[in-house]
């Protein structure tokens, strides 16, 4: 399905000679179809490469004026969205996505929703997230994400509204979600069915001129009809180089109370991207991730990593209220 979408969006960028070849193909079998798909994907990636090295070429060094310009734009920008009703649907989608990996013995969710089923089920999604109950830990990731027009997206498919760029230049070659936190107001928790008033602002921009790396910190405020409920901070790093593998030492707990090993699939990544309205191509387009940003494979998206960690904790701590939750993503996961 994603390949067909590429066709529709990028057909005008394919060289006419190649397009003529495609028009005159007689599709007789699956091999021919695969050849066409391969040609289209290669043309798409070539087009993206040209955009990287042509019109939107990254400056060798950021000037003070360029830095001042995009910092001023970011620090003076904010966006707001309102909703009359906090839906349970994104929460159910996050739960199904994470539990599919964390609990292999969990019931078939669709079967549990079947009114005519003669089986007894221990889980019913409608009963798990009733109206009036609070959003579970980190589930706000599925709510109030940027609603960008496609023309507002970057070359990589991600939102550029709060990115270091202008109309002509993106001042980075790739971007990564590096850290964040959640702070909860338990005297006024955000509940399903609440009215919602959300704002996002850029709180800090830091430029490392030696490397060209730019860090931006975003403040996301979730308020209901009674005031502040959740304050989320997100940190993104905008990097001036493509990915290169390196060995990094991580601190680990030798004897954790609980541990689990999971292997997210492309489907897992895509489903979480859909819930969070995240169109960053490194998470679902292997050709882009490998050919353009030099990753060995698609990158596991940050909201999925965070949600897996938080849901794993929730599976064993159902009655504990969390005041705050912080995380750091030290390197990409594949």
In a shared domain, residues 234 and 297:
yes
In this prediction, residue 304 carries a pLDDT of: 96
In this prediction, residue 54 carries a pLDDT of: 38
Does residue 333 fall inside a structural domain? Answer: no
Average pLDDT over residues 294-313: 94
β 227-239/78-83 pair status: unpaired
Instruction: Specify the number of domains making up the chain.
Output: 2
In a shared domain, residues 252 and 291:
yes
Whether 160 and 152 have beta carbons less than 8 Å apart is answered as yes
Does residue 254 fall inside a structural domain? Answer: yes
In a shared domain, residues 137 and 247:
yes
How far does Cα 19 stand from its chain's mean position? Answer: 33
For 46-96, write each residue's pLDDT tens digit: 444 444 443 345 555 788 888 999 999 999 989 999 999 999 999 999 999
Structural domain that includes position 20: 1-55
In a shared domain, residues 98 and 184:
yes
In a shared domain, residues 39 and 187:
no
In a shared domain, residues 34 and 173:
no
For 174-200, write each residue's pLDDT tens digit: 999 999 999 999 999 999 999 999 999
How far does Cα 178 stand from its chain's mean position? Answer: 12
In a shared domain, residues 32 and 68:
no
Question: Number of C-alpha atoms within 13 angstroms, CB side, residue 143?
Answer: 34
Where helices occur in 77-195 by DSSP H, the ranges are: 89-102, 109-112, 125-128
In a shared domain, residues 51 and 68:
no
In a shared domain, residues 87 and 46:
no
Q: What is the pTM of this model?
A: 0.78
In a shared domain, residues 37 and 179:
no
CATH code (residue 255): 3.10.129.10
Q: Select from 33, 55, 77 the last residue of a domain.
A: 55
For 123-175, write each residue's pLDDT tens digit: 788 888 999 999 999 999 999 999 998 989 999 999 998 899 888 889 999 99
Does residue 262 fall inside a structural domain? Answer: yes
**Helix, strand or coil, per DSSP, at residue 54:** coil
In a shared domain, residues 209 and 273:
yes
Whether 136 and 98 have beta carbons less than 8 Å apart is answered as no
In a shared domain, residues 43 and 84:
no
What is the biggest distance separating any 2 CA atoms in the chain, rounded to whole angstroms?
Answer: 69
% of the chain residues with pLDDT over 90: 58
Whether 22 and 36 have beta carbons less than 8 Å apart is answered as yes
Residue 14: is its pLDDT beyond 60? no
Please name which of 111, 60, 105, 20 lies closest in space to residue 241, comparing C-alpha atoms.
Answer: 60
CA–CA distance, 188 with 184 (Å, rounded to integer): 9
Question: Which residue is associated with the tokens 């003529």?
Answer: 20
Question: Number of C-alpha atoms within 13 angstroms, CB side, residue 229?
Answer: 24
Does residue 12 fall inside a structural domain? Answer: yes
Please name which of 225, 143, 137, 147 lies closest in space to residue 181, comparing C-alpha atoms.
Answer: 137
How does residue 270 score in pLDDT terms, banded at 50, 70 and 90? very high
CA–CA distance, 258 with 313 (Å, rounded to integer): 9
Q: How many residues does the chain have?
A: 334
In this prediction, residue 20 carries a pLDDT of: 42
In this prediction, residue 29 carries a pLDDT of: 42
Does residue 214 fall inside a structural domain? Answer: yes
Does residue 334 fall inside a structural domain? Answer: no
Backbone angles phi, psi at 118, to 5 degrees: -95, 10
């Amino acid at each position: 399905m994603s390949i067909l979408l590429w066709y529709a969006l990028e057909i005008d960028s394919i060289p006419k000679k190649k397009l003529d070849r495609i028009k005159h193909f007689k599709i007789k079998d699956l091999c021919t179809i695969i050849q066409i798909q391969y040609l289209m994907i290669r043309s798409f990636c070539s087009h993206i490469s040209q955009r990287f090295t042509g019109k939107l070429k990254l400056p060798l060094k950021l000037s003070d004026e360029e830095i001042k310009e995009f910092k001023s734009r970011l620090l003076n920008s904010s966006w707001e969205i309102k909703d009359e009703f906090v839906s349970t649907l994104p929460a159910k989608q996050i739960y199904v996505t994470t539990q599919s990996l964390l609990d292999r013995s969990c019931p078939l969710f669709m079967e549990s929703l079947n009114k005519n089923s003669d089986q007894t089920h221990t889980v019913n999604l409608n009963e798990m997230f009733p109206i009036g109950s609070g959003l579970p830990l980190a589930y706000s990731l599925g709510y109030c994400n940027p609603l960008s027009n496609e023309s507002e997206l970057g070359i990589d498919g991600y939102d550029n509204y709060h990115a270091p760029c202008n109309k002509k230049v993106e001042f980075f070659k790739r971007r990564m979600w590096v850290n964040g936190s959640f702070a909860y107001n338990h005297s006024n928790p955000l509940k399903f069915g609440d009215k919602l008033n959300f704002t996002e602002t850029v709180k800090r921009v830091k430029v490392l001129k030696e490397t060209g790396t730019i860090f931006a910190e975003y403040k996301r405020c979730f308020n209901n009809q009674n005031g502040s409920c959740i304050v989320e901070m997100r940190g993104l790093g905008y990097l001036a180089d493509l990915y290169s593998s390196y060995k990094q030492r991580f601190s680990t707990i030798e004897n954790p109370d609980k541990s689990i090993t999971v292997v997210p699939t492309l489907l897992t990544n895509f489903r979480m991207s859909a819930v969070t309205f995240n169109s960053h191509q490194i998470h679902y387009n292997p050709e882009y991730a490998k050919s353009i940003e030099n990753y060995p494979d698609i990158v596991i998206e940050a909201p999925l990593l965070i949600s897996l960690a938080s849901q794993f904790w929730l599976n064993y701590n159902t009655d504990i209220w969390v005041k705050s939750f912080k995380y750091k993503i030290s390197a990409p996961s594949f």
